[in-house]
Amino acid sequence: MHPKDKSASNSFYETNLSAFGINDARSLGWQSADSQKLRFDIMTMIGNIDNCSILDVGCGVGDFYGYFKNNGYNVDYHGIDISDKVIQGAKEKFHDGNFETKDILKDDLKRKFDFVFAIGPFSIKLEDSMGHLKQMTAKMFDLSEKGVGFNCLSSYEDRNRRYSVFHYFEPEEVFRFCKTLTPMVTLKHDYLPFDFSVYMYK
């Protein structure tokens, strides 16, 4: 990620974190805890993730880890984020979680994971949002043993309802790119009008 983009992304999340605290879904840009949980529900539909290793890219304050704990999943969870302050919040919220400040495009994680997820980090508008998504998802796919799941804001959102800080992706363009990485791709655009999720399988 370009330093300018990294600074803008960190500023957005850290400002929200300061405003809402670690126990409010709005600290990570979600409209509500319900919409956050819905996206977690969709991600876990990727397949049988029980007893699997999980990498949560852009983990924020670790709410996906909390979701696993609250819903009885047995997973080997590892959460990473590019913001030190956000990772500090995750460690404060979940003392038993495994969280690190890492950038998968620069840092060596020294292992692979069954499933790699990114829930939310592609939302912030960058200098080249699509280029960044391509780099990230390709690296995520390389780090996975079984599959990758991620979500994006959709260009099908009403233009009058869009926020200038966010990027709204063309679902078809994202799907076409993912098909260059693997023939086994699923795109779900049936749970919210302004959000879609992608599963890529090995």
pLDDT of the residue at 4: 64
Beta-carbon contacts of 134 under 8 Å, excluding residues fewer than 6 positions away, are: 177
Cα 192 from Cα 74, distance rounded (Å) = 28
pLDDT of the residue at 128: 93
Is-above-0.85 flag for pTM?
yes
Domain total for the chain? 1
> Residue-wise over 154-178: b if at least 16 C-beta within 10 A, else e?
bbebeeeeeeeebbbbebeebeebb
pLDDT at 151 over 90: yes
Cβ(12)–Cβ(124) below 8 Å: yes
The 10s digit of each residue's pLDDT in 103-137 is: 999 999 989 999 999 999 999 999 999 999 999 99
Beta-carbon contacts of 61 under 8 Å, excluding residues fewer than 6 positions away, are: 17, 22, 27, 28, 86, 89, 90, 93
The 10s digit of each residue's pLDDT in 61-71 is: 999 999 999 99
The 10s digit of each residue's pLDDT in 153-179 is: 999 987 767 778 899 999 999 999 999
Its domain, for residue 123, covers: 3-104+112-201
| CATH number where 69 lies | 3.40.50.150
In this structure, what token pair is assigned to residue 72?
Answer: 């009885």
In this structure, what token pair is assigned to residue 59?
Answer: 């983990």
